[in-house]
Amino acid sequence: MTSAHLTALLPAATLAKAKHSAPVTDWSGRIGWVIGLVLFIALVYWLMRQGWKWRGSLQSDLPELPAVPAEHGAVKLTMSGRYHGSTSAGQWLDRIVAHGLGARSRVELTLTDAGLEVVRPGANDFFVPNDRLREARLDKGIAGKVLAEGGLLVVTWEHGGRLLDSGFRSDRSAEHTAWVSAVNSLHPHDAADGRAPATTATTEGPAR
């Protein structure tokens, strides 16, 4: 075999050696990284759950929510959409979690002569009697959830001596204005003290 043949065979030998010397995957390192990530996610979830339980214990003085009555009188309005949570009135990040009020869900709203029926598939239903409804307004955020300007219907109501805000978004957002007018017309308390019912967004600042 001549030197020319040896020179021609050298690249092929080098290529074969390179193929056989590919780096070995460090599976132990990868498995350790995945386990660490899973543990971190579990820790974050546990901390969130503990914070939720702690907030619920602080709100333990809030009484049970009224149940939807069997007889509710004439129906004024109905709405299908989403329930985005409840907060202390005027404090859009002070989430209320007691009695399932913190769980976001689908919702069927019905305004009747008796009050506001809130039916939530997979979550607690509740009822706001007519005399506990205070006002309604258009807003853009509640309980850390931010939507488009005026994309949220916020109903203020009294329960257990506290004023609460509950946020709803209709599947047809054009319905919100009619709901604001209907709820505010139930108790013309604003006209008595010279204030106009709130109909514009009041939330300020980005979600945290």
- Look up tokens 């209907």; give the residue: 182
Model pTM?
0.66
> Measured between alpha carbons, how far is 177 from 170 in angstroms, rounded to an integer?
11
Query: Which pLDDT does position 76 carry in this prediction?
Result: 94
Buried b (16+ CB within 10 A) or exposed e, 180-193: beebbebbeeeeee
How do the pLDDT tens digits run along the chain, 208 residues long? 555 554 554 455 554 555 555 555 667 777 777 777 777 677 665 555 655 455 555 556 788 988 888 887 899 999 999 999 999 999 988 899 888 898 899 999 999 989 999 999 988 899 999 999 999 999 998 988 888 888 999 999 999 899 999 999 999 989 999 999 999 998 765 434 444 444 444 444 433 3
Predicted confidence at residue 20, as pLDDT, reads 52
CA distances in angstroms from 164 to 19, 43, 95, listed in the order given? 69, 31, 10
Q: Where on the phi/psi map is residue 100: left (φ > 0), alpha (ψ -120 to 50), or beta?
A: left
Task: Say what the pLDDT of residue 125 is.
Answer: 93
